[in-house]
Chains A and B, each alone.
Chain A
Amino acid sequence: MSVKKLTLLAILTGVASIINILESYVQIIPGIPFKIGFSNIVTLIIIYKYGAKEAVITVLLRIVVTALYSPGTFNYATFSLSFSGAVFSLIVLSILVKLDFFGITANSTLSSLFHVIGQLVAASFLFTDVVAYYAPLMLFISIPAGIFTGILANRFLDRTKDIFIDKKF
């Protein structure tokens, strides 16, 4: 791994972490802990420009950094939710990018859907009954959220086609 690539990945991880932390303070729908997941734009950019391995590393780093920076002590419950969500969505996203059957928007939507599925799986271990109630709503909102992040990532990749990020270092 060249120094240039390492630096860029580090910067992107930092950007994703900051977006993630800032987003925690904004509630889109009051009372429902749902985030659009703007930091996944960075994940999409990395997976399309560098590959699955780099995306996995940066996402896991981002989760740990965010968990450490969130106010209060390290919280096991919230960490396990974001961890299992990330694992599910990364597996699905890697397979989809490899298959190359869908465009970036559909890939982002499916991975966002699986992020919620992963969170629901983790939540079903923490709280058994409430998961069933939240499942339909969370699954549904994950679709527009995934479309949104997909479109934004697509725009970014389009605009930066011939700038730094396109060259594989």
Chain B
Amino acid sequence: MKKKKNDRILIGILLIVFGGYLLATSILDKTGDIAYVKVRNTVLFSVDLRDGSFTPRKNEQVIMLEELPRVEKDGIYVNDIKLDTLEINKGIAVYENQYYIMGHLGIVVIEYKDSKVRVKEEFSPYNICSRQGFSDKNPIICLPNYVTIEFNQSETDVII
């Protein structure tokens, strides 16, 4: 029975410590102003959440699309012609407020809407990051695709 008492004390302490830690961090959290889309930990482009303006990485190839492309795993198709400029961590295709990049497993479609971003479409076993929905605070992680979307305050500088 001594063990049972030990268990209760330990679990109580753990709950208080980590509950307090969680509470403290969630109070300090603020919504971000800029979303940084990273592939393998380097920023590919950023979207300003206040006005939806978009800044690609220096010297990055950006293709502005005129019509909605068809998304397949291996690339995006415009009028059944494959756009072959998208590679992992290289090249961005933009159609209105949708951004197409190549992740590790396939195309990742990122959408900006009403000051928030989401992963609209992606190819992964469990589709965890597209099921997460819109966010302006919680980072979105597409683990098998090595794509992350992180949010920062505009004051903090991230080198693009």
Contacts and interface: CB of A to CB of B under 8 A. Distances in A.
Contacts of B138: 31, 133
Interface size class of A (residues with CB under 8 A): 35 or more
A106 B3 CA distance: 9
A136 B26 contact: yes
Interface in A139-153: 139-140, 143, 147
A133 B26 contact: no
B41 A136 contact: no
Contacts of B105: 72-73
Given A126-B146, A133-B139, A136-B21, A106 B10 contact: yes
Contacts of B25: 136
Given A103-B3, A136-B21, A143 B14 contact: yes
B148 A127 contact: yes
Contact of B125 (A70, A103, A134): A70
Contact of B126 (A25, A103, A109, A113): A25
A134 B104 CA distance: 22
Interface stretch (A11-19, A39-47, A74-82, A84-92): A74-82
Interface in A22-61: 24-25, 27, 30-33
Interface of B: 3-4, 6-7, 10-11, 14-15, 18-19, 21-22, 24-26, 38, 41, 104-105, 124-126, 128-129, 131-133, 135, 138-141, 143-144, 146, 148, 150
Interface of A: 24-25, 27, 30-33, 70-73, 75, 77-78, 81, 101-103, 105-106, 109-110, 113, 126-130, 133-134, 136-137, 139-140, 143, 147
